[in-house]
Amino acid sequence: MNRKYRKTLIAGNWKMNKTPSETKVFLTALKTILPKGRWCDIALCVPSVCIPTAVRAMRETRVAIGAENCNANASGAYTGEIATNMLVDAGCKYVIIGHSERREMGETDAEVNAKVHAAMDAGLTPIVCCGETLEQRESGITEEWITMQIKLALRGITEDKVRKLAIAYEPIWAIGTGVTASPEQAEEVCQHIRTVVRKLFGSKNARATTIVYGGSMNEKNAFELLAQPDIDGGLIGGASLVPEKFVKIIEAANQPTV
């Protein structure tokens, strides 16, 4: 990470875990052990039904609440979907877009791009996800794949806007598997993402863009991953479900800029 030029972000992704009641219990516990320092931004992306509870519980804290998905349309006949202005009105600051689990359910690059635009227009910070499968890594096409995903996800985003989003590199083979990318592997791809952003938006913007790593990040491996120059934080699934583990990861982000 490099706090001189860009923000560090520690974001939880609860996925389809925790009820509103469980959210309340979690956040009560989290508040009592939350570090006071302000070395990083903290977000918790929770299931939509938990958003009101989470926003209420964390109102007086520095923990921002986010959603795990959104719809790109402003309103209308989209049964079961949630628009970005609804998320804003509910108190969300962040939204995860293009998570591999949603891409697996059929989300296309074009939809990801439309959602990024909708989220930014509404004033949300999108956490835009990309990542390769094990097969792609073993075939040696990781960089090409990531380049394509980033180019398509950020299509039409203007230079003044790109710093306001975060990018998450999440190798699919590392998500929920307990197999983490090594700090070197993660750094290599995060650095590559910054190069892609540089080519698209210029070096000042690339330097100011927050790029985080996700995929089995936990309280044990976080410090080493976050010590890498191009890893500006984490998107954390499993380990964000336990207050003590999540706090340890926040604490691991408290290190001098390299």
Work out whether 214 is an interface residue with ligand PGA (CB under 6 A): yes
Q: Which of 68, 99, 132, 219 is catalytic?
A: 99
Contact 82, 48 (CB under 8 A): yes
Q: What is the C-alpha to C-alpha distance for residues 55 and 25, in angstroms, rounded to an integer?
A: 14
Q: Which of 101, 132, 170, 187 is catalytic?
A: 170
Work out whether 95 is an interface residue with ligand PGA (CB under 6 A): no
> Minimum distance between the CB of residue 17 and ligand PGA, rounded to whole angstroms?
10
Length of the chain: 258
24 residue type, one letter? K
> Minimum distance between the CB of residue 5 and ligand PGA, rounded to whole angstroms?
24
Q: What is the C-alpha to C-alpha distance for residues 31 and 42, in angstroms, rounded to an integer?
A: 12
From 237, 247, 248, 249, residue interacting with ligand PGA (rule: CB under 6 A): 237
Contact 22, 30 (CB under 8 A): no
Q: What is the C-alpha to C-alpha distance for residues 247 and 87, in angstroms, rounded to an integer?
A: 25
Q: Is 192 a catalytic residue?
A: no
Q: What is the C-alpha to C-alpha distance for residues 200 and 96, in angstroms, rounded to an integer?
A: 22
For ligand PGA, how many residues bind (rule: CB under 6 A)? 13
Work out whether 83 is an interface residue with ligand PGA (CB under 6 A): no
Task: Provide CB contacts within 8 A for 206, sequence distance 6+.
Answer: 194, 195, 197, 198
| Contact flags string 170-209 toward ligand PGA, x per CB under 6 A | x----xx---------------------------------
Work out whether 221 is an interface residue with ligand PGA (CB under 6 A): no
From 18, 238, 252, 253, residue interacting with ligand PGA (rule: CB under 6 A): 238
Contact 169, 127 (CB under 8 A): no
Q: What is the C-alpha to C-alpha distance for residues 196 and 202, in angstroms, rounded to an integer?
A: 9
> Minimum distance between the CB of residue 194 and ligand PGA, rounded to whole angstroms?
20
Work out whether 12 is an interface residue with ligand PGA (CB under 6 A): no
Structure tokens at 83: 């628009």
> Minimum distance between the CB of residue 16 and ligand PGA, rounded to whole angstroms?
12
Q: Which stretch binds ligand PGA (CB under 6 A): 105-113, 137-145, 169-177, 183-191?
A: 169-177
Contact 11, 235 (CB under 8 A): yes
Work out whether 217 is an interface residue with ligand PGA (CB under 6 A): yes
Interactions with ligand PGA, residue window 116-135 (CB under 6 A): none
The residue among 220, 256, 215 whose CA lies nearest residue 235 is 215
Work out whether 216 is an interface residue with ligand PGA (CB under 6 A): yes
Interface residues toward ligand PGA, by CB under 6 A: 13, 170, 175-176, 214-217, 235-239
Please give the positions annotated as active site.
99, 170
